[in-house]
Amino acid sequence: MKWVKILAQNKIPYYIYKIKQEDFIILNKNNSNIIIILSGILFITKVFPNKESLPIAMLNKHDIFIKNNKEAKIYYKIIALEKAYLLTLNTNNLEKSKNILIKNDILNSYKQTVNEYEAMNNVMSQKQIKNRILQLIFTICLKFGKIKNQKILIPFKLSNKNIAILTGTSKNTVNKIMREIYQQNIIQEYNNKIIYINNIYNLK
């Protein structure tokens, strides 16, 4: 793995965490780490004191998350959509390193990750919940989808619970809207909850 090799060669301490599907980790004010996604797909939410959460981004391999907020009552939750491995790097240890190339690599990767924040903003900017859900599904299909027999499949289980979190609504509302969407026969799902766009030629 690229990052493991680079950090080991430069004797910069790091930790690797495995997160099972649907599991999560929490970053609070005491975490001053840079998170590098080694593998897997996950999403990050910002949780406020009133327990409301705001989806920040959906990330996968080589994406980087840097926590900037240090408010005591606000924390971030990283939830795995499939089995994922994360590398955490303390910012203080990185600052001590004299290797400028490492810092440049991290900065460049972080710049690429910014696009994922923009994609989530586009989802949340939809005023109607149904459009928000459709925008989310189309965005995921565009980024992660697999094409098979004119269908675009999401290659991991996307539960209604996670759709609710990623669109800032309730699970009951998502259940209702997803039933409506399925009836339109554009988006469908297999018995194992794999969502797919039924026919890409029907999309306009």
Query: How do the domains of the chain map onto residue ranges?
Result: 2-120, 129-202
Identify the pLDDT of residue 10: 80
Rounded distance, CA 41 to CA 146, Å? 15
The one-letter amino acid at 112: Q
For the entire predicted model, the pTM comes to 0.83
Q: Where are the beta strands (DSSP E) in 60-101?
A: 64-66, 75-80, 84-90
Class of domain 2-120: mainly beta
CA distances from 119 to 104, 146, 187 (A): 24, 19, 20
Quick check: 143 pLDDT over 70? yes
Rounded distance, CA 93 to CA 24, Å? 25
Rounded distance, CA 192 to CA 157, Å? 8
* Topology annotation, domain 129-202: Arc Repressor Mutant, subunit A (1.10.10)
Rounded distance, CA 83 to CA 148, Å? 23
4-12: long-range contacts, CB 8 A cutoff, minimum separation 24: 4/38, 4/87, 6/102, 6/105, 7/87, 7/89, 7/102, 10/97, 10/99, 10/102, 12/89, 12/93, 12/94, 12/97, 12/102
Domains 2-120 and 129-202 share a fold: no
Instruction: Band the pLDDT of 23: cuts 50, 70, 90.
Output: very high
Q: What is the pLDDT of residues 30-79, one digit of tens each?
A: 666 788 999 999 999 999 888 888 999 999 988 888 876 666 688 899 99
